[in-house]
Amino acid sequence: MVKSLNPKVVTLIEQESNTNTTPFFNRFLETLDYYSAMFESIDVTMPRDSKERINVEMHCLARDMVNIIACEGKERVERHELLGKWKSRFTMAGFRQFPLSTYVNSVIGSLLKCYSEHYTLEERDGAMLLGWKRRNLVSASAWH
């Protein structure tokens, strides 16, 4: 469907977490691991009384966690998948991956280090992976 629109670029930014098709217990553990890293990374970068932080934690992260863990079937709308799954889908749909800019990666890496040395930025298989300590949190890729 998207390919038929003939886009110049399609950008994919996705949580690097596998909660789409996994059984409940595995989904629960994956959610706990992913969001623990997410909350910890926020904790070192924003004051606990920050209105922006409270808003993100309450209205985005907490809501997503509840949906992933407590809902099933059509009620569960938060379904994260790993980069590898998305790459397969985009390739099967006829997209080719755009290479990422090493300059942009370098600038982003430098900015992340201003917040904490525990942030990681890795380029893998043509995508950029943002992480916290040893846990990838978000992947970014571009397709045409």
Mean pLDDT of 87-109: 92
Looking at residue 124, the DSSP 8-state letter turns out to be: E
Looking at residue 14, the DSSP 8-state letter turns out to be: E
Buried b / exposed e along 15-35 (16+ C-beta atoms within 10 A): bbbbbeeeeeeebeebbeebb
Q: Is the pLDDT of residue 21 over 90?
A: no
d(CA 125, CA 74): 32
Q: What type of residue is 107?
A: V
The tens digit of pLDDT for each residue in 31-69 reads 999 999 999 999 999 999 999 999 999 999 999 999 999
pLDDT on residue 5: 87
pLDDT on residue 125: 86
pLDDT band at residue 87 using 50, 70 and 90 as cut-offs: very high
Q: Which of 26, 17, 7, 16 is nearest to 96 (CA)?
A: 7
pTM of the complete model: 0.88
Could you tell me if 42 and 140 are in contact, meaning their C-beta atoms sit under 8 angstroms apart? no
Phi/psi at 137 (5° precision): -110, -40
pLDDT on residue 1: 72
